[in-house]
Amino acid sequence: MSQTAPTPASLRAKAEDQAGRLPPLLARAEHLAGTVLLGEHGRRRPGLGDDFWQYRPVQPGDERRFIDWRRSAKSDTQYLRQREWQIAQTVAIWVDNTASMRFSSQEDLPEKSERARLLSLAVSILLNRAGERVGLAGTSLPPKRGEGQLVRLAEALSEDSDEDYGQPETSGMTAHGRALFVSDFMGNIDKAKAALTEAADRGIQGVILHLLDPAEEAFPYRGRTIFESVGGTLAHETLKASDLRDRYLDRLAARKDELRALCATTGWQYGLSHTSDTAQSTLLWLYRAFDGGPLK
């Protein structure tokens, strides 16, 4: 989060600007999250919790105080009432906020960063409702529960970075927690690899959401062109852009494969989404990915 030294006036303007952006982002994220009606975030197995899970015949070794007499009175055998295991998880979210994410190829498409923030905040809302603790990767916002945490999350997610390409942050993540990485992964893949491996080493399971603009998938450019990164640090000139298309797409496919393979070895979930898709279907996928439900 490198920023130029703030003067009081600019700080205030910026703060107001940020505060002005917060409620809409939060509202839209709430709205998006509202389309997914969740039950409590159960583990689908018996354990400690409030909700009823199943009746089970009494087996040797069960304590008598656990017998559900009302159920047992209806039959000859005795039953235990089991509850669903509900346990709060810790989820750390990393959203790429670098310059390359602030790109949209068409006016009616959202920027990648905008979509990434919306999705991660909506997921946070859902996770928060499900009783999980959500925070940002890194040390800036440790995982907590509650509505207040969502406001802080929205605030933290709204910050921009001037760097061109970002890499995942793994510091401050709870061992054996869950994680969500949202980025376009256009930068140095080795750093992303290192971060992911490190997280996996610490027993962290998670989801990678590879967010791309349709133009990055199609490369619809022709003629003599100078391509510049959004931050302006990289440039590449070509005389015939259409010739580069196939080789660019090969490289992009290779990168996707690399990420996919990495996820396969570390047990993470890999998802590819485009800003032209609806946010809702991506959110549904994210929710399922966290829920461990059926994935397609």
Partner 1 sequence: MMIGPVGFAAPWLLVALAALPVLWFILRAVPPAPIRRRFPGVALLLGLSDDDTVTDRTPWWLLLLRMLAVAALIVGLAGPVLNPQADPNERKTGPLLLVMDATWASARDWPSKTALIDTMLSEAGREARPVALLRLSDPEAPVFQSAEAWRTRLSGFDPQPWSPSAVDLVEVADTLGDEAFETRWFSDGLARPGRDALLTALEDRGQVTVYESPIPVIALSPATVSDGILNLTASRAVAGSVREIVVEAHGRDPSGAERMLATLPLQFEEGATVTSGELALPAELRARLTRFEISGQRHAGAVTLTDDSLRRREVALIGGRQDREGLELLSPLHYLEQALIPSADLLDGALIDVLPANPDVIILADVATLADAEQTLIEEWVDGGGLLLRFAGPRIAASDLSRSEEDALMPVRLRAGGRTVGGAMSWGEPKTLASFSEDSPFFGLDTPEEVTVSAQVMAQPDPTLASRVIAQLADGTPLVTRKRIGSGQVVLFHVTANAEWSTLPLSGLFVQMLERLAVSSAVALPDLTEMQGTTWQPVQVLDGFGRLDDAGTLPGVPGENLITDAIGADLRPGLYDGPDRRLALNVVTEDTVIEPAIWPAGTSVLGLARPNEAPLGGWLLAGAMLLLIADIVASLALSGRLMPVRAAALVLAGLMISTPADAQDKPALATSEVVLAHVLTSVDSVDQTAEAGMRGLGETLFFRTSVEPSEPIGVNLETDDLSVYPFLYWPVTPEQPIPSAEAYTKLNAYLRTGGMILFDTRDANVAGFGASSPNGQKLQRLARALDIPPLEPIPEDHVLTRTFYLLQDFPGRFSGRQVWVEAAPADAEQVEGMPFRNLNDNVTPVVIGGNDWAAAWATDTTGNPMFPIGRGFAGERQREIAYRFGVNLVMHVLTGNYKSDQVHVPALLDRLGQ
Which parts of this chain interact with partner 1 (CB under 8 A)? 35-39, 44, 100-101, 103, 112, 165, 184, 186-187, 213, 215-216, 219, 221-230, 234-241, 243-244, 247-248, 251-252, 255, 272, 277-278, 280-282, 284-285, 293-294, 296
Kind plus residue range of the DSSP H or E element containing 206? strand 205-212
Distance CA 296, CA 278 (A): 17
Distance CA 251, CA 292 (A): 31
Residue 108 CB contacts under 8 Å (≥ 6 apart), including other chains:
none
Min dist. Cβ of residue 183 to partner 1 (A)? 11
Q: Which residue's CB is nearer to partner 1, number 185 or number 268?
A: 185
Q: Which residue's CB is nearer to partner 1, number 63 or number 107?
A: 107
Q: Which residue's CB is nearer to partner 1, number 150 or number 241?
A: 241
Min dist. Cβ of residue 274 to partner 1 (A)? 9
Q: Which residue's CB is nearer to partner 1, number 14 or number 247?
A: 247
Rg value, the chain, Cα: 23
Q: In this structure, are residues 92 and 179 in contact, taking their beta carbons and an 8 Å threshold? A: yes
Min dist. Cβ of residue 73 to partner 1 (A)? 29
Min dist. Cβ of residue 200 to partner 1 (A)? 25
Min dist. Cβ of residue 270 to partner 1 (A)? 12
How many distinct helices (H) and strands (E) make up the chain? 8, 9
Q: Which residue's CB is nearer to partner 1, number 44 or number 176?
A: 44
Distance CA 196, CA 198 (A): 5
Q: Which residue's CB is nearer to partner 1, number 14 or number 222?
A: 222
End-to-end CA gap in the chain = 36
**Burial label, 29 (beta-carbon count in 10 A; 0-12, 13-18, 19+):** buried
Min dist. Cβ of residue 67 to partner 1 (A)? 27
Min dist. Cβ of residue 66 to partner 1 (A)? 25
**Residues in a beta bridge with 94:** 181
Q: Which residue's CB is nearer to partner 1, number 14 or number 44?
A: 44
Task: Write phi, then psi, for 229 (nearest 5 degrees).
Answer: -70, 160
> Cα 93–275–3 angle (5° rounding)?
50
